[in-house]
């Protein structure tokens, strides 16, 4: 699947500490690589310290927001 970050999510990704970028990217990749994923409207994925909010439109994962608790 193709991944698109809305501007708010892209800005948030640059505002989180460098140490958690990898965790957020891993969450995005996991969501994008799951061929069985069904999202009616909004969904969220959570890691150890980070999360993302997303939706799916056809073959596009639209990441709406990201963040971390660090």
Digit-coded pLDDT (tens) for 25-40: 999 999 988 867 777 7
- pTM (predicted TM-score): 0.84
Contacts of 16 (CB under 8 A, 6+ apart): 24, 50, 66, 67, 68, 70
The upper half-sphere exposure of residue 5, i.e. CA atoms within 13 Å in the direction of its Cβ, equals 15
CA-nearest of 63, 65, 61, 53 to 16 is: 65
Higher pLDDT, 9 or 70: 9
């Amino acid at each position: 699947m193709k991944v698109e970050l809305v501007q708010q999510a892209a800005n948030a990704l640059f505002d989180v500490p460098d140490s958690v970028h990898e965790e957020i990217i891993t969450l995005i990749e996991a969501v994008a690589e799951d061929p069985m994923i069904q999202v009616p409207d909004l969904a969220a994925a959570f890691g150890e310290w980070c999360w993302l909010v997303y939706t799916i439109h056809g073959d596009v994962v639209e990441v709406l927001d990201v963040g971390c608790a660090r």
